């Protein structure tokens, strides 16, 4: 009877009954992560700006990296670096659409590393079509640049890697964030209401207006004010160890001082915290790798500092586990939540 009860609990939580697995899960800062990338503004454009009241409130309430730098200009090299550890500058600096002379070939990427650990992933794109039409990759990824509403391929790094676009299974993991004429990102938000529908690694690319590329800061701030509270209030974020990372692809200057807005939020992140330590897009990638004990992709991310100081319980980054001993799509323990409604206020305590 006891064995049956334990089996029921294990199946209900969606985690295998494996002591090593359960012990290892405790070494993770987070079991789920949502990443949102905004566009083309430096840190000074956002912090203190009357056009960005929500982002300033978010930065005060959660964890802000004040010296987080982008890597290059224009957009595409930064997007690629975040998921592969390299910029591919010889062709990516043209911000080209994926094609014969604009792709990373079979270069290893974060998807490879995640799947090697049996971790799940999904990329949500605003304006991404439900059918690739005449712009299909061999795996049926959409390779066009228009989509349905203000989608840009250069803001979708996944479609530049051969082992993603040539795979039907992997292409099926790149999906529209929103249904037609619906509230912002309703399909993405629906997945957050069930751990069974949530992936360990989730990426959200807003459209060209919501990410501030083509529209004012106030538009992007308004968009985030609608979507972020729903993310933090979702079942995934209130019941599980989930992290939200929001950053901008590039700012107004040059690496290593192209500082952009970058924050961590969610029950696993410190509150009212900021750090002036130097970080970059490679640090984000290294943080994800270290959290799940993934092998670094390049010397760039291998040499980058992890952002572990932003988490309440930093991952055991020195813990070594054989690749096939771990599966991390799991339940977690307690958490806390900060309300970010318009009438709430959180006093920041800066370190």
Cα-Cα end-to-end distance for the chain: 52
Estimate to the nearest angstrom the gap between the alpha carbon of 86 and the chain centroid: 17
Q: What is the pLDDT of residue 322?
A: 38
Q: What is the pLDDT of residue 197?
A: 84
Angle between helices 217-233 and 53-61 (to 10 degrees): 40
Q: Which of 206, 266, 271 is nearest to 237 (CA)?
A: 266
The answer to whether residue 337 sits within a structural domain is: no
Q: What is the pLDDT of residue 323?
A: 39
Distances (CA, A) of 223 to 206, 215, 235, 292: 9, 11, 21, 31
The answer to whether residue 263 sits within a structural domain is: yes
Q: Residue 305 pLDDT more than 80?
A: yes
Is the four-CA dihedral 50, 209, 282, 315 of positive or negative sign? Answer: positive
The strand pair at 121-125 and 201-205 is best described as parallel
Enumerate residues 6+ apart whose C-beta is below 8 A from 261.
38, 41, 43, 46, 47, 55, 59, 64, 68, 246, 247, 248
The answer to whether residue 289 sits within a structural domain is: yes
Q: What is the CA radius of gyration of the chain?
A: 19
Domain count, the chain: 1
Q: Which residue has the higher pLDDT, 334 or 155?
A: 155
Q: What is the pLDDT of residue 349?
A: 34
Reported pTM: 0.83
- H or E element at residue 6: helix 2-13
The answer to whether residue 129 sits within a structural domain is: yes
Q: What is the pLDDT of residue 181?
A: 59
Q: What is the pLDDT of residue 227?
A: 97
Distances (CA, A) of 14 to 18, 235, 237: 12, 15, 16
Average pLDDT (314-336) is 43
Q: What is the pLDDT of residue 180?
A: 73
The answer to whether residue 135 sits within a structural domain is: yes
Q: What is the pLDDT of residues 265-281, one digit of tens each?
A: 999 999 999 999 999 99
Q: What is the pLDDT of residue 25?
A: 58
Choose from 12-26, 187-201, 265-279, 317-331 the range with maximum mean pLDDT.
265-279
Q: Residue 318 pLDDT more than 70?
A: no
Q: What is the pLDDT of residues 64-113, one digit of tens each?
A: 999 999 999 999 999 999 999 999 999 999 999 999 999 999 999 999 99
Q: Helix, strand, or coil here: 279?
A: strand
Q: What is the pLDDT of residues 149-199, one digit of tens each?
A: 789 999 999 999 999 999 999 999 999 999 875 678 999 999 999 888 899
Q: What is the pLDDT of residues 110-153, one digit of tens each?
A: 999 999 999 999 999 999 998 899 999 999 999 998 755 789 99
CATH code of the domain in which 150 resides = 3.40.720.10
Enumerate residues 6+ apart whose C-beta is below 8 A from 4.
none
The answer to whether residue 114 sits within a structural domain is: yes
Q: What is the pLDDT of residue 150?
A: 87
Distances (CA, A) of 129 to 206, 215, 276, 345, 350: 14, 22, 40, 39, 43
Distances (CA, A) of 321 to 25, 39, 124: 11, 37, 30
Whether residue 228 contacts residue 234, with contact meaning beta carbons closer than 8 Å, is answered with: no
Enumerate residues 6+ apart whose C-beta is below 8 A from 77.
71, 87, 88, 89, 92, 93
Average pLDDT (216-222) is 97
Paired strand residues for 247: 37, 262
Q: What is the pLDDT of residue 314?
A: 80
Residue 148: domain span: 35-325
Burial readout 125-137 (b: 16 or more C-beta within 10 A, e: otherwise)? bbbbbeebeebeb
User: Phi/psi at 250 (nearest 5 deg)?
Assistant: -155, 155
Average pLDDT (235-240) is 96
Mean of the per-residue pLDDT values of the chain: 85
Kindly provide the residue ranges of all beta strands, DSSP E only, lying in 126-222, ordered along the sequence.
174-176, 201-205
Q: What is the pLDDT of residue 168?
A: 97
Q: Helix, strand, or coil here: 265?
A: strand
Q: What is the pLDDT of residue 22?
A: 37
The answer to whether residue 137 sits within a structural domain is: yes
The answer to whether residue 39 sits within a structural domain is: yes
């Amino acid at each position: 009877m006891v064995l049956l009860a334990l089996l029921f609990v294990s199946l209900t939580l969606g985690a295998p009954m494996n002591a090593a697995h359960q012990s290892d899960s405790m070494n993770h800062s987070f079991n789920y992560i949502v990443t949102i990338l905004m566009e083309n503004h430096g840190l000074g454009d956002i912090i203190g700006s009357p056009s960005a009241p929500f982002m300033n409130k978010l930065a005060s309430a959660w964890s802000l990296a004040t010296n987080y730098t982008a890597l290059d200009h224009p957009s595409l090299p930064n997007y690629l670096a975040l998921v592969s550890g390299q910029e591919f500058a010889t062709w990516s600096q043209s911000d080209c659409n994926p094609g014969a002379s604009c792709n990373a070939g079979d270069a290893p990427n974060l998807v490879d590393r995640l799947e090697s650990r049996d971790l799940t992933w999904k990329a949500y794109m605003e304006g991404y079509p439900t059918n690739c039409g005449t712009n299909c990759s061999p795996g049926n990824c959409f390779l066009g640049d228009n989509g349905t509403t203000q989608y840009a391929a250069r803001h979708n790094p996944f479609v530049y890697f051969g082992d993603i676009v040539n795979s039907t299974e992997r292409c099926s993991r790149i999906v529209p964030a929103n249904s037609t004429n619906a509230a912002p990102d309703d399909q993405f938000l629906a997945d957050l209401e069930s751990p069974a529908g949530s992936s360990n690694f989730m990426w959200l690319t807003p459209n060209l207006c919501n990410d501030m590329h083509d529209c004012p800061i106030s538009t992007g701030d308004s968009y985030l004010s609608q979507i972020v509270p729903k993310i933090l209030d979702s079942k995934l974020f209130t019941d599980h160890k989930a992290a939200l990372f929001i950053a901008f692809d590039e700012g107004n200057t040059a690496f290593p001082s192209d500082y952009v807005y970058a924050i961590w939020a969610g029950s696993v992140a410190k509150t009212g915290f900021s750090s002036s330590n130097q970080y970059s897009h490679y640090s984000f990638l290294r943080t994800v790798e270290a959290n799940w004990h993934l092998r670094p992709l390049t010397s760039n991310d291998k040499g980058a500092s992890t952002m572990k100081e932003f988490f309440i319980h930093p991952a055991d980054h020195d813990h070594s586990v054989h690749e096939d001993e771990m599966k991390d799509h799991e339940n977690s323990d307690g958490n806390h939540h900060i309300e970010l409604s318009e009438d709430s206020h959180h006093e920041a305590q800066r370190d």
